[in-house]
Amino acid sequence: MLEDASIRDLTALMTAARAAYDVISVSSAAQRHEALMEIASALRKHEAEILEANKLDLAHAEGNAAFLDRLTLTSQRLQDMAEAVERIAALPDPVGKVMQEWTRPNGLVIRQVSTPIGVIGMIFESRPNVGVDAAALCIKSGNAIILRGGSESFHSTQSLMRAVQQGLRHAGLPGATVQSVPDTDRARVTEMLHAQGQIDLLIPRGGKSLVTRVMQESRVPVLAHAEGLCHSFVHQDARLEMARAVTANAKMRRPGICGATETLLLDRAIAPTFLPVLVTDLHALGCHCRGDAAARAILPTLDPASESDFATEWLDAELSIAIVDGVEGACAHIRRYGSGHTEAIITENEAAAESFMRGVPSAVVMWNASTQFCDGGEFGFGGEIGISTGRLHARGPVGVAQLTTYRYEVRGDGQTRP
Contact pick of 272, 276, 304, 412 for a copy of itself (by CB under 8 A): 412
Kindly tell me which of 8 and 391 has the beta carbon lying closer to a copy of itself: 391
Contact pick of 10, 36, 71, 117 for a copy of itself (by CB under 8 A): 117
| Residue 415 interacts with a copy of itself (CB under 8 A): yes or no | yes
Burial per residue of 311-349, b for 16 or more beta-carbon CB atoms within 10 angstroms, e otherwise: bbbbbebbbbbbbbebbebbbebbeebbbbbbbbbbbee
Task: Say how far apart CA 225 and CA 84 lie, in whole Å.
Answer: 23
Kindly tell me which of 307 and 413 has the beta carbon lying closer to a copy of itself: 413
Task: Say how far apart CA 158 and CA 155 lie, in whole Å.
Answer: 5
Is the Cβ–Cβ distance between 81 and 51 less than 8 Å?
A: no
Strand partners, 324: 267
Q: What are phi and psi of 52, to 5 degrees?
A: -60, -45
| Residue 101 interacts with a copy of itself (CB under 8 A): yes or no | no
List Cβ neighbours of 29 (8 Å cut-off, separation of 6 or more).
93, 95, 96
| Residue 357 interacts with a copy of itself (CB under 8 A): yes or no | yes
Kindly tell me which of 21 and 310 has the beta carbon lying closer to a copy of itself: 21
Task: Say how far apart CA 317 and CA 67 lie, in whole Å.
Answer: 18
DSSP 95-125: TT-EEEEEE-TTS-EEEEEEEE--EEEEEE-
Instruction: Provide, rounded to whole angstroms, the least separation between the CB of residue 394 and a copy of itself.
Output: 8
Contact pick of 156, 320, 372, 389 for a copy of itself (by CB under 8 A): 372
Instruction: Provide, rounded to whole angstroms, the least separation between the CB of residue 119 and a copy of itself.
Output: 10
Contact pick of 56, 58, 240, 242 for a copy of itself (by CB under 8 A): 242
Cα–Cα nearest to 43, from 95, 85, 72: 85
Instruction: Provide, rounded to whole angstroms, the least separation between the CB of residue 12 and a copy of itself.
Output: 19
| Residue 20 interacts with a copy of itself (CB under 8 A): yes or no | no
Kindly tell me which of 59 and 392 has the beta carbon lying closer to a copy of itself: 392
**Which range touches a copy of itself (CB under 8 A), out of 67-75, 245-253, 287-295, 296-304?**
245-253
| Residue 230 interacts with a copy of itself (CB under 8 A): yes or no | no
Task: Say how far apart CA 53 and CA 159 lie, in whole Å.
Answer: 6
For the segment 26-55, give every residue that binds a copy of itself (CB under 8 A): 26
| Residue 98 interacts with a copy of itself (CB under 8 A): yes or no | no
Kindly tell me which of 68 and 410 has the beta carbon lying closer to a copy of itself: 410
| Residue 370 interacts with a copy of itself (CB under 8 A): yes or no | yes
Query: How many chain residues bind a copy of itself (CB under 8 A)?
Result: 63
Contact pick of 55, 268, 335, 336 for a copy of itself (by CB under 8 A): 335
Instruction: Provide, rounded to whole angstroms, the least separation between the CB of residue 188 and a copy of itself.
Output: 21
Task: Say how far apart CA 88 and CA 79 lie, in whole Å.
Answer: 14
Is the Cβ–Cβ distance between 19 and 173 less than 8 Å?
A: no
**Which range touches a copy of itself (CB under 8 A), out of 19-27, 148-156, 162-170, 172-180?**
19-27
* H/E stretch holding 51: helix 47-60
Kindly tell me which of 308 and 416 has the beta carbon lying closer to a copy of itself: 416
Is the Cβ–Cβ distance between 278 and 244 less than 8 Å?
A: yes
Is the Cβ–Cβ distance between 204 and 224 less than 8 Å?
A: yes
| Residue 64 interacts with a copy of itself (CB under 8 A): yes or no | no
Task: Say how far apart CA 295 and CA 317 lie, in whole Å.
Answer: 19
Binding site for a copy of itself (CB under 8 A): 22, 25-26, 102, 104, 108, 110, 117-118, 196, 200-201, 216, 219, 221, 239, 242, 245-246, 248-250, 253, 335, 353, 357-359, 361-370, 372-373, 375, 378-380, 390-393, 395-396, 405-417
